[in-house]
Amino acid sequence: MKIQPVKGTRDFYPSEMAVRNFIIDGWKKVSIRNGFEEYDSPILEHLAMFQIKSGDEIVEQLFSLKDRGGRDLALIPEITPSLARMVNQRINSLPKPIKWFSVPRLFRAERPQKGRLREFFQWNIDIIGTDDVLADSEIIFTTIDYLKYAGLKPDDVVVKISSRKLLAAVLKSLGIADKDLDAMYALLDKKARLKLDAFEQLLIEKVSDKKTSAKIIRFMETKNISEIKKIALNDEIEQALYELTTNQHYLNEMGVSDFCRFDAGIVRGLAYYTGIVFEVYAKGEQLRAICGGGRYDNLLKDFGGPEVPATGMGMGDCVLEILLREKALLDKQIKKPELDYFVARFGAVGEEPLKIIGKMRSMGYSANFSYKMGSLSGQLAEASAQNAKNCIIIGEEEIQKNEITIKNMQTGKQQTLPMDKFMDGLIRPK
C-alpha cells in the first residue's frame, strides 16, 4: 500500500524546511526587535474552549477527539483562546501590559485551497492589559515591520483597517439587534469571497428589508473615514472614528502609513473582536488574507477572568510564502548554510581524517566529509555542493609529512600547514 500524506498537510524536505525556517526566523527576529517575549501552549485543548467565543466557522473546522477518559479535546485551530487562558491563570502576578509572541502549529479542517491548508504555522503577537490605541498601532506596526523585513513594499501589500466597534454601532443604528450581531459579522466577513448578488441575497434574508441591506453594503464599501458620518452618526460611532483616526495618526508618526488604508469592509471572521480590526492583502492578487487581527477586550472575561483589554494579530505561513515566491523574494534571501571545513581524503590514510573531523566539530566548526572515498575532484565537487569555505585535503603524502593541505574554495588558493599546530587551533588558513 502506498501511503500518502494526510490531505491539507505538508512534508518539509530540506529545501521546504529552509523556506519555513526563513519565515519563522524572521517572525521571531521582528517580534524580539519590537519588544515581544516568546510563549507557547499545548497542541491539545478542551474542545469547549473554542466553542465559547471563536465563532461558528472555527467550530465547524475543528479537528476534535475523545481521550481515554471520554473528555472532548481539539487540536488547536488558533492560539488566542489558549493565550487568554494562560494569562487568566497568572493574572495577578504578570506585569502588564504583556507583550508576547508565539509561532504555533495549527489545525483547521478547511477545504484545502490556495493559501489555506489543514495544518499550518501562524505567527501571533499580542498586547494584553492596555486599552490604549497605541497598542493597536504597535501590533499593526510590528506586522508591517515584518512585511518590510521580508522585502515587501507598499506596492505589494496593503493593510486594510476598520473597527468592529464601528460596525456594531452602525448595525445597531440600522436596527440590528445585539443578539443577531455575531451572525451578521460571520456573513459580512464573507462579502469579499462571494459574488455581490449572492451576498445581497443572503443579507436581505437576514435584515428583511432592501433599504437596510443597501445601507450596510454602502457602509462596507466605504474607504474614507469622513464618509461614515453621512451613513450614520451617534456617540458610539464618534468614539470608534476617534480611535481610528488616532491609530492613523500613530501609524503616520511611526512612518508606516503608506502601507495602510481605512476599509469599512474589514469585519474579521472570529466572534471575539471588539475594536480596531485589520487584515493585510497582496495588491493585485486573488489571494486570501496574509494575516488578520484586532482588539478583543472581552475574551479574558469570557474565559472566567477579570475584564482585561487585549489586541493582537495572527499571520499564517501559506499565503505569505506564495506571495514571497511570486515576488521572487525567497531565493534571494535564503542562503544555504556555509560549511567551515570539508575533509577530502584519498589513499591509505587510515583514520587520520576522522581525528581532524572530530577535532574540528568539537572546536565548534562545522565539518563534513564524503562516505565515498572517490577521486579528489569528486570530493571537491561535493565540498562545493555543501557550500564549504575550505577543503582540507589529506593524502598519504600529508600524513607522512605531518601536514595538511587546505584549499580555499572561493579563491582556489591552496596552503600547506603543520598538522599539529592546526589541530591545536594555533594556526588557521589565511
| Minimum distance, C-beta of residue 225 to ligand HAM, in the bound complex (Å) | 23
Work out how close the CB of 119 gets to ligand HAM at its nearest, in angstroms, rounded to a whole number: 8
Those residues whose C-beta lies under 8 Å from the C-beta of residue 347, and which sit 6 or more positions away, are: 395, 396
How many residues make up the chain in this entry?
430
Torsion-angle region of 387 (φ positive above 0: left; ψ -120 to 50: alpha; else: beta): left
For residue 86, what is its C-alpha cell? 494562560
Which residue, 103, 89, 88, is CA-closest to 39?
103
Kindly give, in sequence order, each residue whose CB lies less than 8 Å from that of residue 133, ignoring residues fewer than 6 positions away: 243, 246, 247, 250, 276
Query: Would you tell me which residues interact with ligand HAM (CB under 6 A)?
Result: 78, 80, 108, 110, 116-117, 120, 122, 124, 126, 269-270, 289-293, 296, 312-316, 318-319
Q: Which is nearer to ligand HAM, 107 or 250 (CB)?
A: 107
Please say which residue, 127 or 264, places its beta carbon nearer to ligand HAM: 127
* Residue (290 or 383) nearer to ligand HAM, CB: 290
Task: Closer to ligand HAM by CB, 78 or 138: give it.
Answer: 78
Neighbours of 49 (CB within 10 A): 17
- Angle at 176 (CA atoms; ends 170, 177), nearest 5 degrees: 120
Q: Which residue carries 477572568 as its cell?
A: 305
Q: How far is the CB of 86 from ligand HAM (least distance, A)?
A: 13
Hey, what's the cell of 8? 491539507
How large is the C-alpha radius of gyration of the chain?
A: 28
Smallest CA-to-CA distance from 188 within 178, 168, 169, 203 is with 203
Nearer to ligand HAM, 120 or 262 (CB): 120
Q: Residue 153 CB, nearest distance to ligand HAM (Å)?
A: 19
To the nearest whole angstrom, how small is the minimum distance from the Cβ of residue 157 to ligand HAM? 12
State which residue, 164 or 407, has the beta carbon closest to ligand HAM.
Answer: 164
**How many CA atoms are closer than 13 Å to the CA of 46, on its beta-carbon side?**
9
Is the Cβ of residue 269 or residue 275 nearer to ligand HAM in the bound state? 269
